[in-house]
Each structure stands twice: as C-alpha cells, then as structure tokens.
A and B are shown apart, each in its own frame.
Chain A
Amino acid sequence: MSELNHRELGLTDEQVLEMYRYMLLARKIDERMWLLNRAGKIPFVISCQGQEAIQVGAAFALDRNKDWLCPYYRDLGMVLVFGQTAKDQMLSAFAKAGDPNSGGRQMPGHYGDKRYRILTGSSPVTTQVLHAVGIAYAGRLDGADHVVLTSCGEGSSNQGDWHEACNFAGVHKLPVIFMVENNKYAISVPLAKQVAGGEVWKRAQGYGFPGVKVDGNNPLAVYQAVKEAVERGRKGEGPTLIEAVSYRLVPHSSDDDDRSYRTREEVEEEKKKDSILVFRNYLAEHGILTEESEQELTKSIAKEVDEATEYAEKAAYPDPKDTYKHVYA
C-alpha cells in the first residue's frame, strides 16, 4: 500500500474503520450470493469482488446527503455506503417483492433507490453515464451544488454514450465524476484488446477536463482522487475522469467460467493485492484494527448476512398481477 495516510486526507480512525466494514460487508454479501447461486437458490450473481476499495473509497468522498449516483452493476460497495443494506441485496438476489431496486423485476446488481439518490440502472452499458450528465445539468438549472458520480467498466468506456456524455459534460462544465473501474477484463476480453493505448484516463484530455489514474486497490487513493473531483465539481470547474485500476477476482458472472481466458496463476497473483487484505493490514499497522475487534467485526457481518439471507428467503414474491403495474403513471 502506498504512503497515503488517512489522517492526512482528513479521515478519522472511525471513518477508515467504517470504510473497511463496508468493504468487508460487500465482499461477504457477494460471497454469500455465489453460495446461494451454486446451491440453486438464486439464478444469477454479478460480483463486486476486487473492486470494493474503489466503490467504498469513492462513496466516502461524496456527500451522502446530496450527491447522486449513477452506478453500474458491480457497485455493491457504493450503494451500501449510500444507504442500502444487506437485506436489500438479498431481497434483490431472491427477486422478492421487497427488493428496493425493482420489486423483483431486475437482475441483481441493477441498483436504483430514490431514497438515496441512486438512479435506476439497466443492462445496456453506459446509458447511465448520460443520465448522470442530465442530473448534473438539472442541478445547475436549480442552482444546486450536488455532484453526480457515474461509473462503468473499462470496456464500457468505448461506448458512444460514454463519449457523448464526456463531451456534453465537458462543453457545459458540469459537476460529473466519470469513474472507470478498470478491472482489466470486459468479460473475457483483456484491456489490451479493449482500450486503444491502454489508458482510459488519457481520454479526458480530448474532452477538455482532467483525467487521473489511481490504484483501485487502495481506498484512500480513490478517496483522495474523488475528493478532488468533488471539489472541482462544486466549484463549477467541470467534470473529472478517474480511472481506478483493480482486478476482477471472480468470473464475469455466475454464468461465466474465467478459466477459459485467464490462468489461475494470474488470478492468484492478483489476489495478493486484494484490497480487503491490503486495507486490513493498513488498519492493523495503524492500530485501528486489533485481533479482537477484527473477530468482532467478522462475526457481526456474518450475522448480518445470515439474517439478511434468511429474511429474504422467507420474504414474499411479487404478486403475479404486479406484472402489469407501473407501465404508465
């Protein structure tokens, strides 16, 4: 882990411990979903594993009471920080009526929660990036000072909508943070075959706003970059592109088998840089996490995930008649 120190970034010990807690909670929820999938209880999982530091670090740099999120399907860590719970995730995984994202209509990972200003998302990639620009523009019309963070993978940053959004926000100097979570694979296609030049952050230059690249395994590095972007945005200086580099530790989804396109050695090597491990060590080194408090934390998260699973499994499915609801007002 880099030389960054949380106190120098203005973060308290309690805050970094809370960051770790969210990262671990996201990881444990995700792992539970894989188990449920492999046990035949839920049809589909799409993972955040390996990207928790980006998601939690970024969310901590935002104002959770006024800023907006247009996330993508891996941003479990981000939506937890903004207010969703383990229960919410399990209700979504089991497609139960109580799923706050969609009432059981969408696959897991398609976040959307008006309570926390998390805009509803879809499966076609980077459509949400334009929506983020629209929310930023609407805020400007109202004289609001919120910023909008929108994220996607590095493969998605090739989409036309992504570029249209960067250009639009650049022209109008809108407070949008374009977060690209570079996990090195777009399903099976590696970065080299996805992004010409291999560097997403450099694309910002063409749109007339800053682009930065950060270590996506270090939540403090991500926090720092997003914090700066937020300040720029609030001051009316326009958008920022952040490329946060990490690694997708699991297959693309529960329906994918990554052994067909990458070696186990590569994955094992990357697991050593897993942000959960790295950040845990950082906290231990700084005396914030003790063996005792870690056990306590692990136990409490396990309980939270167990209870959420049990609750969601028992929760009611939507009424089939609800299929016809909410087509129009």
Chain B
Amino acid sequence: MPVISYIDAVTQALQEEMKRDSRVFVLGEDVGVRGGVFRATAGLYEEFGPERVLDTPLTESAIVGVSIGAAAYGKRPVAEIQFADFIMPAVNQIVSEAAKIRYRSNGDWTCPLVIRAPYGGGVHGALYHSQSVEKMFNGVPGLKIVMPSTPYDVKGLLKAAIRDEDPVLFFEHKRCYRLIKGEVPVEDYTLPIGKADVKREGDDVTVISYGLTLHFALQAAEMLEKEGISVHVLDLRTILPLDKEAIIEAAAKTGKVLIVHEDNLTGGVGGEVAALIAQEAFFELDAPVQRLCGPDVPAMPYSPTMEKEFMLNPEKIANAIRELAEF
C-alpha cells in the first residue's frame, strides 16, 4: 500500500468522489485556482473546472447556506471553511438549518452536505488559527462530527461523509496534514461514521482520544511500555454520534480511563464520554475517569511558551497515564 500524508488523503478522497459522482462539488475560499490555502483541493480545479471547484466570496455563512440549498436540490456539496476558527458566522446555517432540515420537514427534505474545516494548534496559529471548535456543535442532533487521526481514516471517512445522507462536519487537524503519514489502499473504500477504532491494545490504562492528541497518546503508550505500563488506545474518529459500545468496551478493558482532547476541558467531548462511562460502566471502573484537555482559556496564544503550555504532548499524556496506572 502506498504511504501518503493526511492532507493527501483529503485530496484523494475529494478527487475520487468527484470523479465517481457528478453531483459532488467543492466550494470555499481559495479552493479553486489556489487549490486551498493548505493545498487540500490542489489539482481539482484543473481536473474538474471552475464550476465544480468554486471560489466563493469571503462569506462563511454563504458558503454553508449556498451548500445547503444545493444539497436540498440534490447535489453533494463539500464546503471548505478555511480555518475552523472562522466557522462561527456559519453557525446559524449549520445549527438552525443543516442540522434540522430533515427533522423539521418530517423527512421531506434532506441535507447531504460535508463541511470540511482545518482545526487545532501547535502551528503558531495563535488565537484564531488554532481553535478546536467541535464542542460548539457537539450535542446538536442532526449533525455528525468526524475527526479522523490517520490518512487511512481520513480517506475512508471523508468518502463516507460525502456519500452520507446527512450533514457531516469533517474536522481535519492541520498539524496532522503533513506530519502524519500512513498506508492507504489504492482501491475505493469507506469507513463507517460513528465507529471508533482501537489503535492499540493494552490492559493497564485506557486512553480515549481523537485527532492529533491520539498520536500523542500512541507515543506516550510507546514510552510507557518500557516502564511496564500497557496502554489501550481508542480513537473515537466520530464524536457525534459517539460509538457507545466501543467506549464502554474500552473502559471496561482496564477500568482506568483517561480522555484526551485538545479542545477545552469544560464542555468538551470528554465530559460526555466520561458521563457515558459513569452511567454504563460504573462497575468496571477501578479509578476515577480522568480528562486531560486544552485548558479553559479563550484560545491558544501566539507566544511559543504559551502555546506549548496550552498544547498537549506525549510527555503530558504519559504523566497522566502513569498517575492512573499507579492509582
């Protein structure tokens, strides 16, 4: 299998789906001639032309609103929000419209729409190019939120998102774009939305994570193996809807759970996961469920010292795992 980068997996998925299904088109700021500021749509303009690779005005609400109209009509739009930080003007379109169209029309209308957005920090992006925004949308029924960590998952899940009959927020960690590489099959494949994936088997402590921090967790697990601590790592991959069975199973595996995400602690996905475990796996628990998350400050500062303080890393995660292992 060829080894490709995380962002190449995005591009490949888009290209293949556009080729496969003429209803698919992409739109967003700078996605056309420029091929996207991160180059995620590179080559698509040349292959599919300006109408299916549409450079929009600088208006996020319009990008989403226009996509919703096109989706209702029967297209499969894939909208790019240049940075997840800039999705806020489109929240009304996403929450009041996309998420509710099927429900409010009693199933008469649907909104098969994908909104892609790079998120996350560790790239000197400061307050407004580093945010994790998933908690803004988590808990909005009608939406699906996919947050993959590997090129394989990116490609399989993005294809699944494009083929899905409902609106999917597809958040891509921008630090992963060129940092994470992995094997991806050449053949067409999709992965199920709403299914978590065990990325490492272990029996001392369970780490539940997604996105960039999932990789940090795997690195931490590697370090701790030498100390005799065996770490089980579950990649949520989809945070809405959560894969409840997989979470309960992973929690029960060790009875000691650490939830890790870059999004802020308060209101983050971790709270929901922890509540689920408390409710469904209480008698399997051998330690209080722990969360290691981005701190509750408004956003990630620009200064490297402060950015480092905000960001998680393998050492911070290893320390938290060790604490649990010793408990």
Interface residues of A (CB under 8 A from B): 70, 99-106, 110, 112-114, 119-120, 122-124, 127, 129-141, 160-161, 164-165, 167-168, 171, 325-329
Contacts and interface: CB of A to CB of B under 8 A. Distances in A.
A174 B292 CA distance: 49
Given A119-B72, A127-B97, A327-B141, A101 B105 contact: yes
B2 interface: no
B25 A141 contact: yes
B102 A114 contact: no
Given A130-B69, A133-B66, A164-B61, 20 more contacts: A101-B105, A102-B104, A102-B106, A113-B108, A120-B101, A120-B104, A120-B108, A122-B96, A122-B104, A123-B96, A130-B65, A130-B66, A131-B72, A135-B70, A138-B70, A138-B73, A141-B51, A168-B56, A329-B164, A329-B166
A19 B89 CA distance: 40
A64 to B, nearest CB: 17
Interface residues of B, number: 44
A165 B110 contact: no
A137 B69 contact: yes
Given A119-B72, A134-B68, A160-B89, A327 B102 contact: yes
Of listed B56, B101, B105, residue having the most chain A CB within 10 A: B105
Of listed B70, B75, B100, residue having the most chain A CB within 10 A: B70
A329 B104 contact: no
22 contacts: A102-B105, A112-B109, A113-B108, A114-B108, A119-B69, A120-B72, A120-B101, A122-B104, A123-B96, A127-B65, A130-B68, A133-B62, A134-B67, A134-B69, A134-B73, A137-B66, A139-B73, A141-B25, A141-B75, A160-B89, A325-B107, A328-B144
Contact of A120 (B70, B89, B105, B164): B105
Nearest to B103: A326
B25 A133 contact: no
Of listed A119, A133, A139, residue having the most chain B CB within 10 A: A119
A63 B255 CA distance: 65
Interface string B139-156: 001101000000000000
Interface string B6-44: 000000000000000000010000000000000000000
A318 to B, nearest CB: 8
A250 to B, nearest CB: 25
Contact of B165 (A135, A139, A329): A329
A100 B108 CA distance: 9
A112 B69 CA distance: 13
Contacts of A141: 25, 51-52, 70, 75
A326 B104 CA distance: 8
B228 interface: no
Contact of B75 (A114, A123, A138): A138
What are the 3 tightest A-B residue pairs by CB atom distance, in nearest-first order? Answer: A134-B69, A130-B65, A103-B106
B59 interface: yes
A326 B102 contact: yes
Contacts of B97: 122, 124, 127, 131
Contacts of B92: 124, 127, 161
B67 to A, nearest CB: 6
B71 interface: yes
Given A101-B105, A105-B104, A161-B62, A167 B57 contact: yes
A251 to B, nearest CB: 25
Given A122-B96, A160-B89, A131 B106 contact: no
Given A119-B72, A134-B68, A134-B72, A326 B106 contact: yes
